[in-house]
């Protein structure tokens, strides 16, 4: 890898970590220290904290460690923080929320069907459970009456590449068993490896994941036909169908490609699908097959053009997580490794593609899809304006800088004469946030005349080019230097900070960095060299 020069202290330290084999996502903690080697800007009692991340499900554990009096997974100290989160991470967290949910998403497909006394099953492994439960149910943690869940524990390992097939076979077994019982009117199954492994820069690992998912797809569909289930096959977004940048470097990020949609039943010729749909049309299609009128909240439309002779009203929605559609062979690992079962189904049953990203799904135009947005829209059956759009609009029109939740935390900092901490992902574009949020919060703190402002960053936006983290940290350090009252004081990889499966050793590493200053030391004396 060609060396690059960075003129800021933490960016230089990150570059040194690259040389030692670390990447942005697994970056070990780095902390700024003073001339006496004491960590600068640690979170202390009565401080203020703004957690600038969005999405939310991976932010809950770290937030609990920082503020919950009942936290008992490792030793913490009472901090009495005044804390604001960018969005609602969990309704039970005692924090201010800058951009709270706009409304309860009533009558998602799960809620609507269970109101009709239909039985719904969610089947998924734990790595993706939050998407099939919380997001698919309209960002609600509740489980509805007549809704059941089978969650297969994912492998407990620090190296996901050891198990490229993940628990796809076990998830398939559970799905087949549930269909055999004939108890459920709708089964929603998520098969996870193509997304999870698609973020790993090892082609053979991704290839093994693709083969595993295609194999389980064949097993599940064969059983579904035997047990008289109509199968809808789709995905939440793409990854490995566009796995290379134009220059040949690896792009492990999500894509803006459409996703496949296949309708499999014991009939073939009588069924036709419409083109030009998006993921919001999945739920209305399910209801159409069941001969149920969609609720007024659903804006999507059925994808069925003709429904002659479709008799099975028990449905399996099979979500192949991360399986995008791209006919171009360049960087397309699905075409390279082969998907015989998907090809057979695509060629023999009604097939179309669905939009899974960008403005039709409430995101900024031309942006990539993600698991949160994909599952949310499949379950809701309507377009939902994303938190990202709301936040950027607020920054542009100035509402961001008079947001009551931010100002409440800042007022507490002034009253207590304490420090303000800003914590968040450092990335141009991540499903968890943007460097623009951090820069805007720094400007807000300056506007409010705070004199002690510390920024703590996490790295690891999947899909960024190599060394992107050091480049963004360099940018943020220069911004802090410009404001003068702000310092970027610690950096850690998102692998340690953003967990959702109770890997408390990871959260402890992040907590120890933020509160106790444990990490690789970088001397602040270097700051005078900034230009």
Q: What is the pLDDT of residues 449-482, one digit of tens each?
A: 999 999 999 998 766 777 789 999 999 999 998 8
Residues 113 and 29 in one domain: no
User: What is the spatial distance between Cα 81 and Cα 70, in angstroms, rounded to a whole number?
Assistant: 15
CA dihedral (440, 446, 450, 453) in degrees, to 10, reads 50
64 & 154 share domain: no
Range with the poorest average pLDDT among 73-87, 108-122, 259-273, 365-379: 259-273
Domain boundary among 338, 366, 384: 384
Domain end (from 359, 384, 409): 384
pLDDT of residue 296 exceeding 90, the answer is yes
The answer to the question of residue 28 being in a domain is yes
Res. 143: pLDDT tops 80: yes
Helix axes 168-181, 203-226, angle to 10 degrees: 10
pLDDT of residue 228: 92
Same domain, 306 and 356: yes
**Whole-prediction pTM:** 0.80
Q: What does the pLDDT read at residue 147?
A: 98
403: left (phi over 0), alpha (psi -120 to 50) or beta: beta
Q: Is residue 249 part of a domain?
A: yes
- How does pLDDT run across 74-106, given as a tens digit for each residue? 999 999 999 999 999 999 999 999 999 877 799
Tokens of 28: 């070990």
Answer with the residue of higher pLDDT: 427 or 261: 261
Domain boundary (384, 399, 432) is at 384
Residues 234 and 154 in one domain: yes
* Residue 2 falls inside a structural domain: no
Question: Strand order in 486-493's β-sheet?
Answer: 96-97, 82-85, 48-51, 420-425, 453-459, 486-493, 30-33, 520-523
The token pair at 414 is 């002034």
pLDDT band at 309 (very low <50, low <70, confident <90, very high): low
Of all residues in the chain, what percent are helix, strand and coil, respectively (each to 5)?
Answer: 40, 20, 45
Q: Are residues 216 and 364 in the same domain?
A: yes
**In angstroms, what CA-CA distances link 270 with 224, 230, 311?**
19, 14, 12
Within 10 angstroms of residue 204's Cβ, the number of other Cβ atoms is 12
Structural domain of residue 47, as residue ranges?
9-100+388-529
359 shares its domain with 217: yes
**How far apart are the C-alpha atoms of 203 and 449, rounded to whole Å?**
50
> Is residue 493 a part of any domain in this protein?
yes
Whether 185 and 75 share a structural domain? no
Whether 286 is covered by a domain: the verdict is yes
What CATH number has the domain bearing residue 413? 3.40.1450
**Position of tokens 């904290």?**
49
Count of domains for the chain: 2
Beta carbons of 31 and 520 less than 8 angstroms apart: yes
Q: What are the tokens at 46?
A: 């009565």
Tens of pLDDT along 383-419?
999 999 999 999 999 999 999 999 999 999 999 999 9
- pLDDT tens-digit profile of 36-68? 999 999 999 999 999 999 988 899 999 999 999
- The pair of three-digit structure tokens given for residue 257, joined into one six-digit string: 């490609």
Task: Give a yes or no: residue 3 inside a domain.
Answer: no
Q: Are 86 and 53 in contact (CB under 8 A)?
A: yes
Q: Which of 377, 350, 356 is nearest to 262 (CA)?
A: 350
């Amino acid at each position: 890898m060609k060396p690059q020069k960075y003129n800021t202290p933490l960016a230089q330290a990150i570059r040194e970590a690259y040389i030692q084999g670390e990447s942005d996502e697994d970056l070990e903690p780095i902390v700024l220290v003073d001339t006496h080697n004491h960590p600068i800007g640690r979170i202390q009692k009565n401080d203020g904290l703004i957690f600038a991340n969005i999405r939310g499900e991976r932010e809950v554990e770290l937030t609990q460690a920082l503020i919950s009096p009942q936290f008992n997974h490792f030793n913490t100290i009472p901090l009495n923080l005044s804390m604001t989160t960018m969005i609602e991470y969990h309704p039970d967290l005692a924090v201010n929320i800058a951009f709270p949910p706009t409304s309860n998403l009533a009558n998602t497909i799960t809620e609507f069907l269970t109101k009709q006394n239909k039985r719904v099953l969610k089947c998924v492994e734990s790595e993706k459970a939050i998407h099939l439960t919380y997001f698919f149910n309209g960002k609600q943690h509740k489980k509805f009456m007549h809704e059941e869940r089978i969650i297969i524990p994912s492998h407990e390992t620090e190296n996901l590449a050891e198990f490229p097939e993940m628990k796809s076979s076990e998830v398939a077994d559970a799905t087949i068993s549930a269909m055999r019982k004939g108890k459920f009117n709708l089964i929603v199954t998520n098969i996870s490896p193509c997304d999870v492994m698609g973020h790993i820069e090892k082609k053979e690992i991704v290839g093994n994941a693709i083969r595993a998912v295609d194999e389980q797809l064949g097993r599940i569909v064969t059983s579904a036909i035997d047990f008289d289930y109509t199968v809808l096959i789709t995905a939440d977004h793409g990854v490995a169908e566009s796995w290379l940048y134009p220059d040949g470097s690896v792009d492990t990020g999500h894509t803006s490609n459409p996703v496949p949609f296949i309708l499999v039943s014991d009939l073939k010729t009588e069924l036709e699908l419409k083109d030009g749909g998006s993921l919001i049309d999945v739920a209305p299609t399910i209801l159409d097959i069941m001969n149920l009128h969609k609720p007024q909240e659903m804006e999507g439309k059925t994808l069925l053009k003709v429904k002659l002779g479709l008799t099975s009203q028990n449905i399996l929605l099979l979500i192949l997580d991360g399986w995008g559609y791209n006919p171009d062979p360049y960087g397309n690992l699905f075409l390279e490794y082969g998907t015989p079962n998907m090809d057979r189904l695509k060629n023999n049953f009604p097939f179309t593609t669905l939009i899974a990203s960008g403005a039709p799904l409430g995101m900024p135009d031309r942006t990539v899809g993600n698991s949160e947005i994909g599952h949310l829209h499949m379950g809701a059956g309507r377009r939902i304006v994303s938190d990202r759009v709301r936040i950027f609009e607020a920054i542009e029109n100035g509402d961001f800088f008079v947001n009551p939740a931010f100002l409440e935390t800042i007022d507490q900092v002034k009253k207590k004469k304490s420090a303000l901490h800003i914590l968040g992902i450092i990335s141009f574009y991540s499903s968890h946030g943007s460097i623009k949020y951090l820069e805007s919060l720094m400007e807000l703190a300056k506007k409010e005349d705070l004199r002690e402002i510390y920024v703590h960053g996490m790295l690891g936006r999947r899909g960024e080019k190599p060394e992107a983290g050091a480049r963004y940290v360099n940018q943020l350090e220069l911004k802090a230097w410009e404001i003068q009252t702000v310092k970027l004081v610690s950096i850690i990889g998102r692998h340690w900070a953003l967990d959702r499966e109770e890997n408390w050793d990871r959260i402890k590493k992040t907590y120890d960095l933020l509160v106790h200053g444990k990490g690789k030391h970088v001397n602040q004396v270097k700051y005078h060299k900034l230009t």
